[in-house]
Structures are given as C-alpha cells and as structure tokens.
Amino acid sequence: MRRNAVRTGMIAVALLATAGALLPLRTRELRSRARPASAYEESVSRIATMRAVEQPLVNKFGGTVLMVHGGHAAKVAVLLHGLTATPHQMQLLGDQLYERGYDVFIPRMPMHGERGRTVTALSGLTADTLRAFADDVIDIARGLADTVDVLGLSGGATLAAWIAQHRSEVRHVVIVSPAIALSRLPRALEDPAMQTLARLPNVNLGASADTTKPQVYAGFSTRAVAQTMRLGAEVRSEAERVKPAVHEIVVVTNANDHTVDGSAALVLADKWAERGARVTRYNFDAARGLPHDLVDEGETCANAALVYPVLIALLEGRVVAPLAPGPSVSPGCINH
C-alpha cells in the first residue's frame, strides 16, 4: 500500500538524519498516579466536568459518551478509541454492551475530535498526557460500578495495555491491535524509530480532509504516533520485571493488519504470561480481510456482525473458538 511505503520511507530518512541522537527516552515517569473516585456521585461529577470542558471544542461525533442504567452498577465497560478517532468509533459496540447489562463509558482521548481541526492538533500529544488520561479514566470507572472491564483499539489498545500493567481495579482487559510497533519495520528499528520520531519536529502525513469521515482526523502525526509508542515502551519495560496488575488479559491480533505489528503485541502477551497473568490470544485470520480499524462499522471492509460477538465474549471472559472459514471477501480487503 502506497501510504505504508511513504511512512516507512519517512521513518528511514528520520533514522538516518538523527542517528547520532538515538538515546533511550525515559519511561519511568509514566507509572500510575491513581486517584480513584470514592463514590458513584463523584464519578458522574467528574464526567460532567470532562464534558463541560470539551463541549465548546468537539464536533458532534467527538464527545465523551456515558450510558448508565441508573445508580452504581454491577459492571461498566470502558471503551478506548484509536489514535485520530473519536468515541463515535466505539458507539455501536457500546450500544450492544449496554443492551447486555453493562454501563458503558467511552471517553474522548485528549486533543481528539475537535471542530475544524486536522491531525496537526495531535502534535502536542505526549506519553504523559496519555498516561494521565488512562489513570483518570480508571479512577472514574472505579466509582461507576463494582466491576470494570476495558477494551481498547490501536492507540486506545496501547492505553489498555498500560492499564493492564498498572491498574489492579480492572477485571478484564482486551487489547485489540495495539500501537506498540509499526508494521513493516524491522524489530531492531522499532525502539530507535520511536525515539527518533519523538525528538524530531512533528510531520503530518496524509492530512488532507476526508469529508466521508468528519469524526476522524485524516492522516497521522509522527509525534503522536511516537508518543503513543513511548507509552507502549514503558509497558514493555515494566512487563520485563513486574507482573501486570490485571490478572485476566486478552490480546487480539488481526493477520490482515498492515498498520501495526501484531507480533510485538504477542511478545508482550508472552511476557505477561511468564509473570503469571492469565493471557488469552485471539487472531482474526487474514482471509477475513478485516481492516486495522475493525471496530468502526463505517470503515471499509469492516464486519461488525463478525467481530462484535467475538470482542464481547472476550470482554466478558468467555472462551471463544476460532472462527470457521467464511465466505470470500473482496480482493480489495485483503492486505488492507
């Protein structure tokens, strides 16, 4: 795919241009600073404040979503959207979870979904901003319900991985195609690429407006990608020496995904398992032709009817058998 070739080329140029400055970035400061809500009313108040702050800024798809049945609940599902997306990405999945008895909390990631903005808006995103956001989300969710389950996609999955490593209040974490390492990049260059892009001035690639998806920033910001991967690097570093705080973790990969490196997620899964966590691995076969964003019902080649039952079962802690061979998909959906 052309955009993957452009991205890989840009990364290679950046690595060559800054080879003398490849010093490891510090990640120790990215550990949790939890302040859990003490009661349901406090959580609702904190969400109201969150919405009041974002209301003048966000487009009609961009606001934080809260779906409650009324009062402190038995369980809440926290859904974390991907980099450049908005809570709208998770809306249909959230609706189905709500119908199954979950309260649902879909928070807006910082700097996302703002009216009239492009992907340039993400150039100021930092790993610590993402860390603080993830902490706040779980602090709030803890007051909403007795049980907290988390599912994240892509950049949101990197946040979910950080939560799995640090927040013991959570029962199940489902990590779908996490943005830990870029696809088509040799393993030896993953950390140098992240360290280089985090230090270089931001570059926006493919940032022209996409009128078919007004809820999403078109293209991507090199700085935002690097800072997301930096948070993932903290998780990988901690997993080398510390058992994750969450005992039940699911890592979902997509063999047709050419945006992130699924093997990096599986390496992290192995580390967690070695430390004593119960880790489930689930892979969507390449023949299904699913896109990187396999959650948003409006995404080309997406298949909510196929994907959602799997993700819901995994979030609920149920065993899911591999999907049986399915009908042929459009050739344009393979290697999407």
Confidence label for 207 from pLDDT (cuts 50, 70 and 90): low
Instruction: Please tell me the predicted confidence (pLDDT) of residue 251.
Output: 98
pLDDT at 311 over 70: yes
pLDDT at 310 over 70: yes
Cα–Cα nearest to 152, from 140, 132, 142, 138: 138
- Nearest-angstrom CA–CA distance, 289 and 277: 31
Instruction: Please tell me the predicted confidence (pLDDT) of residue 254.
Output: 96
Confidence label for 5 from pLDDT (cuts 50, 70 and 90): low
pLDDT at 269 over 70: yes
Q: Tokens representing 262?
A: 């699924």
What number is the average pLDDT over the span 150-177?
97
Instruction: Please tell me the predicted confidence (pLDDT) of residue 21.
Output: 45
Burial-class residue 323 by CB neighbours within 10 Å (0-12, 13-18, 19+).
Answer: middle
pLDDT at 12 over 80: no
- Quote the mean pLDDT of the chain: 87
E strand spans, the chain = 65-67, 73-80, 103-106, 145-153, 170-176, 204-205, 220-221, 248-254, 278-284
Confidence label for 329 from pLDDT (cuts 50, 70 and 90): confident
- Domain 2-19+33-318, CATH 3.40.50.1820 — does that match? yes
What number is the average pLDDT over the span 250-257?
96
Convert the pLDDT of each residue in 58-101 to its tens digit: 998 899 999 999 999 999 999 999 999 999 999 999 999 999 99
Instruction: Please tell me the predicted confidence (pLDDT) of residue 117.
Output: 82
Q: Which residue has the higher pLDDT, 249 or 333?
A: 249
Q: Where are the domains of the chain?
A: 2-19+33-318
Instruction: Please tell me the predicted confidence (pLDDT) of residue 88.
Output: 95
What number is the average pLDDT over the span 18-39?
70
pTM score, whole prediction: 0.89
pLDDT at 209 over 60: no
Confidence label for 173 from pLDDT (cuts 50, 70 and 90): very high
- Nearest-angstrom CA–CA distance, 80 and 256: 21
